[in-house]
Amino acid sequence: MAVVRVLGVEVRYGSFKVLDDVSLDVGEGEVVAVLGPNGSGKTTLLKTIDGILRPVKGSVYIDSKSVSRLSRVDIAKLVGFVPQHVNLVRGVRVVDFVLTGRKPYIDFIPTSKDLEVVLRYLRYVDAEYLVDRDVTELSSGEFQRVLIARALAAEPRILLLDEPTSNLDIRYQVAILNLIKKLSRERGVTIITSLHDLTQAYRYAEKVIFLSRGRIYAMGGVDDVMREDVIEAVYGVKTKVLRDLRAVIPIT
Ligand SMILES: Nc1ncnc2c1ncn2[C@@H]1O[C@H](COP(=O)(O)OP(=O)(O)OP(=O)(O)O)[C@@H](O)[C@H]1O
Ligand SMILES: [Mg+2]
């Protein structure tokens, strides 16, 4: 059964159609990469699944429940979102920032269990040493890991990540992608992540979705869909898909 189902979704910003007739199913514990050029609608799709944006047509279902009927708190218990951009205010410590991820479970004052969970996930992303630092004073790679810890702090069944590796050095790119894989394998967390790096998608995703101008151009198992003709049609770039290495390189 699909954990996430997107059915005939159309999303607009004013009169500008950004997603057009998008439908997809994601099963429990699957890792799905959303690919496509800048402006193709990846962030918009993730925000729509999280119920932040409302489609003008179609629906999103999580565990067969329509997202439009769930409260923000219910959605926050089910879905963790790691955004591409965040506005930060000075004077907030990392520990308190990650604690905001526990909000759906906190009545009034965080308990020692909440704090324990926060520290566990900071450790998980190798960021425990940042616990007392101000969030505005982190490197972008450090902040990226803190953002993931915040999303995990709610212990969601579904994790949406928007370009989680874009600010990371190669070590943390690998670390975060391995973490994603581990969450899916060991805990059955369903992962939907946008990515720019096709090689990363090839190696870490089971299923890929290529968006082109707000429509799904191709979707399916990574071995079937990661093809030179698809990539050229979507990005307008010639590439070589190296099947043995599971890598995609542009040909100039
Ligand atoms: N708040 C907004 N108001 C109006 N238009 C928007 C808004 N947010 C995004 N758009 C437009 O919607 C389209 C899709 O944007 P989106 O952010 O979903 O693309 P993306 O695939 O995530 O791109 P990127 O790879 O650059 O992150 C773009 O043309 C963008 O300019
Ligand atoms: Mg985006």
Q: How much distance in Å is there from the Cα of 195 to the middle of ligand 1?
A: 15
Query: Rounded distance, CA 75 to CA 80, Å?
Result: 9
pLDDT digits (tens, 9 = 90+) for 51-92: 999 999 999 999 999 999 999 999 999 999 999 888 888 999
Among 90, 98, 91, 84, which residue's Cα sits nearest to residue 50? 84
Q: Residue 107 pLDDT more than 80?
A: no
Pick the atom of ligand 1 nearest to 84's CA.
27
Q: How much is the pLDDT for 23?
A: 98
Ligand nearest to the CA of 40: 1
Q: How much is the pLDDT for 168?
A: 86
- pLDDT-derived band at 167 (thresholds 50, 70, 90) equals confident
Give the chain's domains with CATH numbers. 27-87+155-250 (3.40.50.300)
Pick the atom of ligand 1 nearest to 194's CA.
22
- pLDDT-derived band at 2 (thresholds 50, 70, 90) equals very high
Average pLDDT value over all residues in the chain: 94
Q: How much is the pLDDT for 201?
A: 98
Among 209, 204, 201, which residue's Cα sits nearest to residue 241? 201
pLDDT digits (tens, 9 = 90+) for 40-60: 999 999 999 999 999 999 999
